[in-house]
Amino acid sequence: MNGFLTLRAGAYSVRAARRTLAVSLALLLAALGLAVLGLCVGGSWTPPQEVLAALAGHGDEVVAVREWRLPRVAAALVFGTALGLAGAVFQNLTRNALGSPDIVGLDAGSYTGALFAITVLGGTSAQLAASSVAGGLVAAGAVYVLSLRSGLSGLRLVVIGIAVNAMLTALNSWIVLRAELEVGMAATGWSAGSLNGVDWGELVLPFAVIAALAVALAVLAPGMHQAALGDELAVASGVRLNRLRLLLVLAGVGCTATVTAVAGPIVFIALAAPQIGRLLTGAAGLALAPAALSGAVLLLAADLVAQLLLAPVALPVGVVTTVIGGCYLIGLLVRRTRRNA
C-alpha cells in the first residue's frame, strides 16, 4: 500500500497523502471538541448535553449558547482557519518559516488602515473592512517592491518586512496618541486582538469573504505546490508565476485583513499554524488543510485560556496568542541556530 489516496468525483480526482488526511481529520475532531468546550464555558459552566439541547432550541440556555457563545466560538474557528491559510501562503511565497503576515508587517498595515477608519472616517464596519484590506495591501506592496531591488529572496523579504512592521507599529502608536481620549482607549484595547463581544451581525460578511478566499486558495493550491519545487520547474509545468504570486498575495492579505477588521490583530497564529501542520504531517511542503485546521485549533484553545485564566474576566485572546507565539518563535530560532552551528 502506497502513502497516497486518490479521491474521484466524476471527471475530477484529488490525490492526497494518507498521513495528511489522517492528521487533517484528527485536527478537525480536535477543533470540534474545543468548539463544544467553548460553548460550555461562559458566566457559568453549562453541561454538554444542555449545550446540545440549546443548539436545537430547547432548554434555558438557548440565548446564552446561541446568541452569546456560539458567535465567539464560530469566530475563533473561522478566523483561526483564515490566519492558518494566510500563514501558509506567505511562508510558501517567501520559502521561509518566518514569512508570516504578522512578521512581515501585514498585520501592522491592516491595523494602520483600521486606525485610519476609526480616527478619521468614523469606524463603521464597512469602513473598517475596506481600510484594513487597503492598509494590508499597501504594506504588502511596499515590502514586495523593496525586496525586488536586488532580486526577490525569502530572507530579504522577511528582513524588510520586519523593518516595515517596526515603522508601521511606531506610526500606529503615534495615531493612537494623537486621537481623542475615548477613541485612543478603544483603539488600544482593540489592538490586543479580542473576540469579546462579537455577534452574528459582525460576522456574516467576514465569514463570506473568508469562505470565498478559502475556495480561491484551494483552486490555486496545485500551482502553489509546483512553485514550491522551484521557479524553473513551475514554469516548465505551465504555472504563470507572476499571476500566481499576485493572486496568492491578494488572498493572503484578504484573510489577514478580514480578521483584523473584526477582531484586531491576532498575532502569531499565522506564524505557528503552518509549521505545526507541516510537523504533524511530515510533508515536504506547506499543505493548506493542516495549516488551516491547526490555526483553528490554536485560536480556539487560546480563546479558552483567555476566558478561563482570570475568570470571570476574559482576557483579549491576542494576549494569549502573543505569549504562545513568542515561545514558539524562540524555540524556532534556537532550533535553527543549533542546526546551522
Instruction: Examine residue 176 and state whether it is found in any structural domain, yes or no.
Output: yes
Residue 34: what pLDDT?
Answer: 94
Sequence length of the chain is 341
CB neighbourhood size of 281 (10 A) = 23
State pTM to two decimals: 0.86
Please report, in tens digits, the pLDDT of each residue of the chain (341 residues total): 446 656 555 555 556 678 888 888 999 999 999 999 999 987 778 888 888 888 888 878 888 888 889 999 999 999 999 999 999 998 888 777 777 887 777 888 888 888 888 888 876 777 877 888 888 888 888 887 887 765 555 677 778 888 888 999 899 888 888 888 878 877 777 778 888 888 888 899 899 999 999 999 988 888 787 776 666 676 676 677 778 888 888 898 889 888 988 888 888 898 888 988 888 887 766 788 999 999 999 999 999 999 888 777 778 898 888 888 778 778 777 877 777 66
3 state DSSP class of 17: strand
Q: Which residue has the cell 511562508?
A: 91
3 state DSSP class of 87: helix
Grid cell digits, residue 286: 506547506
Determine contact, residues 12/218, Cβ cutoff 8 Å.
no
Determine contact, residues 315/195, Cβ cutoff 8 Å.
no
What CATH number corresponds to the domain at position 143?
1.10.3470.10
Instruction: Examine residue 261 and state whether it is found in any structural domain, yes or no.
Output: yes
Residue 294: what pLDDT?
Answer: 94
Domain count, the chain: 1
Grid cell digits, residue 112: 494602520
- CA-based radius of gyration for the chain: 20
Instruction: Examine residue 11 and state whether it is found in any structural domain, yes or no.
Output: no
Instruction: Examine residue 244 and state whether it is found in any structural domain, yes or no.
Output: yes
202 Cβ contact list (under 8 Å, min separation 6) = 71, 125, 262
CA gap 292, 120 in Å, rounded: 34
Name the nearest CA neighbour of 250 among 93, 103, 84, 75: 93
* Environment class of 58 (CB within 10 Å of its CB; exposed 0-12, middle 13-18, buried 19+): exposed
Determine contact, residues 164/105, Cβ cutoff 8 Å.
yes
Instruction: Examine residue 13 and state whether it is found in any structural domain, yes or no.
Output: no
Element (H, E) at 16: strand 12-17
Question: What are 5's strand-pairing partners?
Answer: 16
Residue 3: what pLDDT?
Answer: 63
Instruction: Examine residue 19 and state whether it is found in any structural domain, yes or no.
Output: no
Integer CA distances (angstroms), 129 to 114, 125, 135, in order: 8, 6, 10
CB neighbourhood size of 150 (10 A) = 8
Instruction: Examine residue 5 and state whether it is found in any structural domain, yes or no.
Output: no
Instruction: Examine residue 99 and state whether it is found in any structural domain, yes or no.
Output: yes
In which domain, by residue range, is 39 found?
30-340
Determine contact, residues 168/108, Cβ cutoff 8 Å.
yes
